[in-house]
Every structure is written in structure tokens, then in C-alpha cells.
Amino acid sequence: MIIALDGPAGSGKSTIAKRVASQLGFTYLDTGAMYRAVAWLALHRGINLDDGTALGRIAADEPIDFDNPSQEAQDTELTGVSISGQDVTTQIRTPQVDAVVSKVSAHAEVRRALVDAQRRIGAGRDVVMEGRDIATVVFPAAEVKIFLTASPEVRAARRFVQNATKDDATNAQGSGAAGDTSQGNSEKASFMQGNFGQDSFAKGDDQTRHQQMLEQINRRDKLDSERDLSPLRAATDSVIIDTSEMTIEQVCQKIVALVCRWQCEHQCEGASRPILPAVKQHDDEGDSHKAGISLQMPPSIEDARR
């Protein structure tokens, strides 16, 4: 079964996809990390970013590997990524890569190579795959298709605090201190809320940085949605979820409910409610609320899309 999870930058794709995959016992694949890895290696090697042929060779020839963290850590840690045998987990999340990844991913040679790789990875597996063209190009026949979105202001706020948290962690490591990660974890747990991060912009410098992040988000949206090949858009049969004023748990509940409903409609043959393995475990324990899972399902997938 394939769950396709698309959306723009800052919509919550990675956090939600990892948590849903963990709850359902599915494989998680961050396709955006693959494009970022190619972009990083191109920068590292000084390759002209207008040279689609050279970039396509990187995408086709250089192996990209993923090292999934434990389930307990999936919602708080980045998935490990390496390309050509080099760990680039943190390097691909820098402003330098942010600035060029849309340009790199727009080349047909790059997309062709990576889409082929993504299809090979997803074939025959239960997988939550997140990106920008999963439901429209990579797996248009995916069983469940989700398009996450949020206002540009909210998405910029999330990225602002995300970067600030990473800076704090880096500074703590540099000073030799272990650092208190509780604030960062708390922020990550609540970043789906619409008012998230607004208190962070009290200082003038922070307001400026937030404005710069907003401009970057808008620029990325424009590049991704207007490119000729595989533009960012929701599939006509995707369920669109605006996460601006939702928590992580609320979004996960909605997606898990849609998966349950799909299974009921296609696999249960008259059963009133399917119980997925991960959901059943918590339900048996009477602890589903603690797992952030709701078994309340929409009447049908079609109703959810409306």
C-alpha cells in the first residue's frame, strides 16, 4: 500500500510522514532528500547547475542511501541520508542547498533518474512517500493521496523556529554543553498550530529574518509550481489538508483514519471497521489516545476529498 504525501515547503510533510509511517509500521521515504543530496553533491563538486546532463549523471550513477532512525526517534530526528558513500544528513538542510534545490530538481534528467529510483523503492512495499509529485507523477495510482498545505506565513514561522532550534543545538555542541532539547522538542510537537512561532518575532532582527524566510518560501513556491516538469500541485483525487491551525496529532489522526477507511472499502468485505496492526495494538491496550491515533473515520474517501 502506498500513501502519497505531497505539499509545499514547511507544510509539515516530513514530520507527519515519519509519524504516520511509524504508527502504521510502514516504510518512510523522503523523496525531497534525494533531490537535496544531488544538489549538495553538485555544489560540492562545482558542477554547473544549468547542466542537466551532468546533474542527471549524478542522480543516475551516485547511490543514495537512507538510514531510518528508530521508531521512538522518528518524529524528532532527521532520517540519515548519504550519497556516494558520504553522510550528508545535515549538509542537505542548509540555506545553500535550499537556494538551489528547486533549480536542480527542475531538470528532466534528474527527475527521470530519481523517479525511477523512487518507484523501485516503493514497489511491493507498504510505504509513506513524501514529496511534491508523488500522487501526480511517481505513484498516480497510490491508494491514499494527501496534499498538505498551510499559509505562507505559518510555513515561514515553522522554518524560522526550525532553523533557530538547529542553531541552538549547534552552539550547545560547540560549547561542549549537552544542551536542553526540551524546548526544541516542544516546539516541534506544536509546530502545526497556526500561531506557532509568533512570540519568536518580538525582536527586530528576528522579524527581519522571518520576513526573509517568508520571501524564500514564496520564491520556492513559485519555482516549484511553475516549472514545466512535474509542477507542485494537488492531484485531482488528493485529500487536501490545511495544517495551519492543526496539531501534529490531529493531522496524523486524519490520515490514519483515511487509511483505515480505504482498507475498509477495499479489503474488509463488509467489516464495519478495519484495524491496522499498529492501531490494533494501542486499541487493545485501551491507549489509542496516547498514541495520537483516532479510529473515527470519514464516511468515505470521497467525502474526505470534499
pLDDT in tens, 285-301: 333 333 333 334 444 44
- Sign of torsion over alpha carbons 81, 220, 74, 171: positive
Average pLDDT estimate for 239-243: 94
Q: Which residues contact 168 (CB under 8 A, 6 or more apart)?
A: 179, 184
Cα 118 to chain centroid distance, Å, stands at 15
The SS3 of residue 235 is coil
At 51, the pLDDT band (50, 70, 90 cuts) reads: very high
Write out pLDDT tens, residues 166-210: 555 445 545 554 444 433 343 343 344 433 334 444 455 677 888
Residues 100 and 49 sit within 8 Å (Cβ to Cβ): yes
- DSSP assignments along 37-50, one per residue: HHHHHHHHHT--TT
Residues 196 and 157 sit within 8 Å (Cβ to Cβ): yes
The pLDDT, as a whole number, for residue 266 is 81
Cα 159 to chain centroid distance, Å, stands at 13
Average pLDDT estimate for 140-155: 94
Write out pLDDT tens, residues 112-122: 999 999 999 89
- Sign of torsion over alpha carbons 203, 185, 68, 294: negative
Which has more confidence, 86 or 272?
86
Write out pLDDT tens, residues 251-270: 999 999 999 999 888 876 55
Write out pLDDT tens, residues 52-74: 999 999 999 999 998 754 343 34
pTM equals: 0.73
Can you give the residue ranges of every domain in the chain? 153-221
At 303, the pLDDT band (50, 70, 90 cuts) reads: low
Average pLDDT estimate for 4-15: 91
At 103, the pLDDT band (50, 70, 90 cuts) reads: very high
Write out pLDDT tens, residues 127-145: 999 999 999 999 999 999 9
Amino acid present at 199: D
Q: Which residues contact 167 (CB under 8 A, 6 or more apart)?
A: none
CA gap 50, 96 in Å, rounded:
16
Question: Mean pLDDT for the chain?
Answer: 78
